[in-house]
Structure 1
Amino acid sequence: MLRSTSAQMLRQLVRYRSSETSLILERINRVQLLGRVGQDPVMRQVEGRNPVTIFSLATNEMWRTGEDISQKTTWHRVSVFKPGLRDVAYQYVKKSSRILVEGKLDYGEYVDKNQVRRQATTIIANIVFLSDN
């Protein structure tokens, strides 16, 4: 299913001329993550802006080298801006819940408390599928 959908999208993109293709390719920014929530969500609001629900999500990657099994955990910051969705995420997402997050990547910069400029990657969630637990 996924391969056929991807193949259809690619065929449609190839049909467009070069000037149009770059515009279409720039719109594809999609990520899906399946993992466990690292902490209970928090809702924050900056003056003059709508509130946002934020939580961390851990994804694990495992591989085998001979008889050894290795694991790598990657932490992701998830932000939910949509009014109905952010409230549902804030209410029902809990620490250690297993969830699927769908959204887009967002890259930004901030200055920490020591006045050091840092880069941050955030998943802007469009859909959060909650587990049964």
Structure 2
Amino acid sequence: MLRNASAQILKQFVRHRTTDTNLILERSINRVQLLGRVGQDPVMRQVEGRNPVTIFSMATNEMWRSGEGEPTSTGDVSQKTTWHRISVFKPGLRDVAYQYVKKGSRILVEGKLDYGEYMDKNNVRRQATTIIAASRIY
């Protein structure tokens, strides 16, 4: 059984070749896990001709102690808060997130990173980073 599991894992990391020698398909990973607090109640939006999407913001915190780098250092504690935009497209997950996730809730989001561009009100091109919730929200 262990041999079969090892073989399956190895196959996932090996290049998959097609009959076309110029085309090589590789497996890759784009996975994100965030544990933090919801910054606003989710909003459901729908653009004409597209499925609805649930969107909310989420904050994660990073804390560290300034000092000489020693474990017994009594330096000041610093904190950095990072805000993330979460989009939920998957129908069942989208509806659950919209109905049950609330501002201040502590949740775990699993998904993938997505980078995109949009035009703002002044016709200036902006870049946006979004976490696409793919599998679970706890």
Which TM bucket (shorter chain)? 0.7 to 0.9
- C-alpha change, 1:60 and 1:50, in structure 2 (3 Å) is same
SS across alignment from 1:94 = coil
2:137 counterpart of 1:128: yes
Question: Where is the helix percentage greater, Structure 1 or Structure 2?
Answer: 1
In angstroms, what is the RMSD of aligned CA positions?
A: 2.3
C-alpha separation in 1, matches of 2:66 and 2:16: 44
2:32 counterpart of 1:24: no
- C-alpha change, 1:58 and 1:19, in structure 2 (3 Å) is same
Question: Residue in 1 aligned with 2:51?
Answer: 50
Contact 1:13 1:24 in 2 (8 A): no
Q: Unaligned stretches of 5+ in structure 1?
A: 1-7
C-alpha separation in 1, matches of 2:90 and 2:13: 34
Q: Unaligned stretches of 5+ in structure 2?
A: 1-5, 19-23, 68-74
Q: Percent identity?
A: 77
Shift of residue 23 of structure 1?
1.0
- Which entry has the higher C-alpha Rg, 1 or 2? 2
- C-alpha change, 1:37 and 1:90, in structure 2 (3 Å) is same
C-alpha separation in 2, matches of 1:71 and 1:91: 31
C-alpha separation in 2, matches of 1:110 and 1:45: 16
- What TM-score do you get using the length of structure 1 for normalisation? 0.81
Question: Residue in 2 aligned with 1:92?
Answer: 100
